[in-house]
Amino acid sequence: MKNSIITFMLLLSAGMFGQMYNPVKWKTSAEQLSEKEYLLKIQAEIQSGWHLYGQYIEEGGPSRTAFTFKNPNKNFELIGKTTEEKGHEVQDKIFDMKIKYFEGKALFTQKIKVISGSITTLNAEVEFMVCDDSNCLPPSSEELVFKIPASKVDVAEETATAKIDTASIKNDTAAVNETPSLKEEKSPEVADTTPKSSKGLWSIFIISFLSGFAALLTPCVFPMIPMTVSYFTKQSKTKAAGIRNALIYGFSIVIIYVLLGSIVTAVFGADSLNALSTNVWFNLIFFILLVVFACSFLGAFEIMLPNALANKVDSQADRGGLIGIFFMALALAIVSFSCTGPIVGTLLVEAASKGGIAPIVGMLGFSIAIALPFSLFAAFPGWLNALPKSGGWLNTVKVVLGFLELALAFKFLSNADLVLQLHWLEREVFLAIWIAVFGALAFYLFGKITLPHDSPLNHISVGRLSLGLVVLAFTIYLIPGLWGAPLKLISGFPPAMHYSESPDGFGSKSESSAKAPLPEGAEYGPHNIITFHNYDKGMEFAKKAGKPVLLDFTGYACVNCRKMEELVWSDPKVLGVLNNDVVLISLYVDDKKELPENEQYVSETTGKKIKTIGNKWSDLQIKTYKANAQPFYVIVDHKSANLTEPSAYNPDITAYYNWLQSGIKNFKK
């Protein structure tokens, strides 16, 4: 069944890979500011899910948006730089830098001053890259035309629709999400740079819902369930009235916590919350805050709201009716704050880093989990007899949550360290801290460590022993990461492999001994795979070696290309195929090196002049495979005929390996 599903997904995706993307349209207008000065406006309309990158990105990152204003007669001059809107700014872990991107729409403006004669039209060119969660398009350029008003008018506009062949790169992010790593990069590991989506909100809801159930199992909340339900059933004249009042009580709990999430969103703003996720001070403050929460759960002290507030709210609960029930719910929230406060605070911090309405969604999930048992037990009071009795196990739940809070706190500290590039909390140090935290948790669960408020432990229950074994196994799993193990199960939490004291792994072989001799025209690629960047030389070597060719249409700034290389190509069985069974030709569509004059040409497919090596490979992909997104993989024979359907971004290692084997098998027929 599983193989059938994978096969179906491959067939479905194969039909999607061979398509052209045109995700951006450009509009231009000009506004007269004074007799000689004009404001040129450039509006980018970006399809949903795609990202356009800003103008001011450091070298080594994704290709930035750049405008060239053509002035052959020197009859105008630029005033200042081209400005752009605020957009989204994230700290991208792949490129290790701040990256700005736009989604939906982006407005760029440029002031000019006419210094001689008059201008009726003005030409410019924009170079840009875009990407979505799964595709990165190579750099593209588009001609822009501005109609300059002859007299003072507000706006004279002509639309210049951009025909985009290509455009590429992250998120992330950010995740890339995250833009593509701009998300993911919903990633990272520094911050989730993927674009906010319903999928991200569902994740927040589910995590918050489970956190609400965890809060139920704390000493401040759990004993309140039978007490509150008994109150409603005894004070109500009929069973139906008791159920109704308990349902109103549960609904009031939901309103209170959702209101809290709404206040957080309103105070900080939906967009600014997302920007905070890569702010150094934001991460440092919440590192301290989570450490305080953890210490509270571990028993160092209790976080309490003022007693005067609790007493005032409790007195209002005696009023009866709907208002009285609402204040009873508010009293529960205040009284249980010492247990729920740290959990709610952590959820709000995590939701705030996602931005948008995530804090509201998070509080909705949390409050539903809290309110659900009150409503269910009111409807079926006989179930109360099945509840376990309060006892020391409730404090154990608090302590476990405290250890988890402590581990999460160092994620925020790691974010700040990555943004500042201090290299104080590199991968090995981060993992050592997590090993210590989860190791201590395992010892606690086994009864070797006791903390304040713990009851005497005469024996260990099966549940506690099982959880202890899981935590111990996880701790042991982390240890090889100190020597360079990838630890894919926690990908996104520790710093990336390159942000490490020993990026190649402690005790690894020297590069000279690890690498095989290079054929003429080849280079070492990811994981020391012998790679050709020239199509003709790679094909010539493949003929001599008698192997099929794996064409890898990629980009230096392609985030999903790097993900495939790091997560899929690193797998031993995939790596074995790439090293031994195929000849890898990686064609970088964003290579800016200019072609010799006699090799430049006008594309028959797009009508654009092919000036660079990257243009050449991009044109090859478009012309041959009717696709312009990266990564894009094709297995071909020595006559460039396809041996199997092309493949794109596919993080499923087994499916990718089977795809490789299918092409190799067809080559041998």
Nearest-10 crossing angle of helices 392-420, 337-354: 30
Instruction: Report the alpha-carbon distance of residue 460 to residue 445 in Å, rounded.
Output: 8
Residue 565 DSSP one-character state: I
The half-sphere exposure of 347 on its side-chain side, counting CA atoms within 13 A, is: 34
Identify the pLDDT of residue 225: 67
Low-confidence ranges of the chain (pLDDT < 50): 1-18, 151-199, 269-275, 277-278, 509-514
Joined together, the tokens standing for residue 309 give: 């507030």
Number of neighbouring beta carbons within 10 Å of residue 523: 12
Q: Which residues have C-beta within 8 Å of that of residue 499, sequence separation ≥ 6?
A: 96, 418, 423, 426, 427
DSSP string, 583-637: EEEEEETT--PBPPGGG-EE-TTT--EE-BHHHHHHHHHHHHHS---BSEEEEE-
Number of neighbouring beta carbons within 10 Å of residue 154: 9
Identify the pLDDT of residue 5: 37
Identify the pLDDT of residue 299: 81
Q: Please give the model's pTM, rounded to 2 decimal places.
A: 0.42
Identify the pLDDT of residue 259: 82
Instruction: Report the alpha-carbon distance of residue 283 to residue 91 in Å, rounded.
Output: 12
Identify the pLDDT of residue 509: 47
Instruction: Report the alpha-carbon distance of residue 656 to residue 325 in Å, rounded.
Output: 57
Joined together, the tokens standing for residue 260 give: 């809290």
Number of neighbouring beta carbons within 10 Å of residue 288: 13
Backbone angle region of 188, left / alpha / beta, with phi > 0 → left and psi within -120 to 50 → alpha: left
What three-state secondary structure class fits 127? Answer: strand
The half-sphere exposure of 332 on its side-chain side, counting CA atoms within 13 A, is: 26
Angle at CA 185, nearest 5°, toward 482 and 207?
90
- Positive/negative CA dihedral, 216, 217, 220, 223: positive
Instruction: Report the alpha-carbon distance of residue 201 to residue 551 in Å, rounded.
Output: 37
Do 657 and 580 contact (CB within 8 A), yes or no?
A: no
* Cis bond before residue 223 (omega within 30° of 0): no
Do 646 and 14 contact (CB within 8 A), yes or no?
A: yes
> CA torsion, points 617, 618, 623, 627, in degrees to nearest 10?
130
Joined together, the tokens standing for residue 575 give: 């790596």
Identify the pLDDT of residue 352: 57
Q: Please give the distance of CA 563 from its chain centroid, rounded to a whole number.
A: 12
What three-state secondary structure class fits 532? Answer: strand
Identify the pLDDT of residue 370: 79
Q: Where are the alpha helices (DSSP H) in 355-491?
A: 358-379, 392-420, 427-445, 462-478
Instruction: Report the alpha-carbon distance of residue 271 to residue 352 in Å, rounded.
Output: 10
* Cis bond before residue 173 (omega within 30° of 0): yes
Do 141 and 618 contact (CB within 8 A), yes or no?
A: no
Joined together, the tokens standing for residue 107 give: 């407005």
Nearest Cα residue to 343 out of 323, 362, 322: 362
Q: Which residues have C-beta within 8 Å of that of residue 57, sequence separation ≥ 6?
A: 64, 97, 99, 100
Q: Where are the alpha helices (DSSP H) in 479-580?
A: 511-514, 535-545, 559-563, 572-580
3-state secondary structure 251-294: HHHHHHHHHHHHHHHHHHCHHHHHHHCCCHHHHHHHHHHHHHHH
Q: How many helices (H) and strands (E) does the chain have?
A: 19, 21
Joined together, the tokens standing for residue 343 give: 């959990």
- Positive/negative CA dihedral, 459, 462, 466, 469: positive
